[in-house]
Amino acid sequence: MFPSELKIRDKAIRPATILAPMAGVTDTVFRRVIRGLGGCGLIMTEFTSAEGLSRQTARTLHYLYFDEDEHPIAAQIFGSDPAVMASAAALTEDLGFDQIDINCGCPVKKVVKCGGSGLLRDLVHLEKLFGAVRDAVKIPLTIKIRSGWDENNIVAVEVARMAERVGVEAIAVHPRTRMQGYSGNADWNVIRDVKQSVRIPVIGNGDIRTPQDAVRMIAETGCDAVMIGRAASSNPWIFGQIADYLTTGEYVQPTEQDRYKLLVEYFQSLIAAEMPDAVGKMKQFATLFTHGIRNGSELRYAVHHADTSTEILARVDAFFTANAASAPSGD
């Protein structure tokens, strides 16, 4: 049975669904889109550099901006120096986040050099890092990990047990190795093994594309909640769809008009928020979001070859107007 809530210390997260942190995606504007569509229990920031936070650079602090209506919200930080991570965590707590998450899963090369899944290669050091952060903050501390560095070094259970011992209060498991990146299939058996090894809540992540997948992950692994990343960027309605599916056994797919409305509102919100990289975010989101749209490749091409936010909005309007006019009869 799908859990009604995720309990982390004294905080009940309802429903037991979490938006995964995604670089360049889960900024305050996108998080508010997810909140507005409903069905998501906890949202998370983009992963944020502890080194940048320790220097309090404007760009890094910008990643941690959030509005009051985004609660409950977790900040995810990454780094490899225990003292710097502890300092960054304390600053994050002061900013008013509900919990702090340590990134032990990012497979990107430049992150691996200073944290992310690179931390999984030295568990003695990782334990020191967890302990330093735990001592620095009073709010709940969670971690997100991969199954290991490669198929010969699957360390998820070992990391989970160590994290629990140090005082980490929940663990999200993406059961791919660092070397897999996002290729192949997520091995949900790793989530099950972690769940059977610790008492703290275990959150399953990886290859949830539909509400049925979310239900199946809970059934097959016994995990306490699900975390969704890439599927939410292409289908922000997925959390609401899960809620509907659990209630009625059915859910509705967004119409083309729904997608048009959300895309335009999201782009307009980026402009209103004066995001310094609004055009880049528009192009990135168009790549992720338009795969569910008829003739979506044409829209992606049009957006990627625009130079300004105004031009992008005009091309989006023109595309959907033409698409509606060319829709098959009865569509």
> Which residues are marked as active site?
106
Closest by alpha carbon to 112, among 150, 165, 65, 142? Answer: 150
Q: How many helices (H) and strands (E) does the chain have?
A: 15, 11
Could you tell me where the DSSP H helices lie in 197-248? Answer: 211-221, 230-234, 238-248
- Give CB contacts under 8 A, 24+ apart, made by 32-36: 32/67, 32/69, 32/70, 32/269, 33/236, 33/262, 33/265, 33/266, 33/269, 34/232, 34/236, 34/239, 35/69, 35/70
- Euclidean distance between CA atoms 140 and 100, whole angstroms: 6
- Euclidean distance between CA atoms 10 and 325, whole angstroms: 53
Query: Cα–Cα distances in Å, from 325 out to 43, 100, 315, 319, 331?
Result: 38, 48, 15, 10, 11
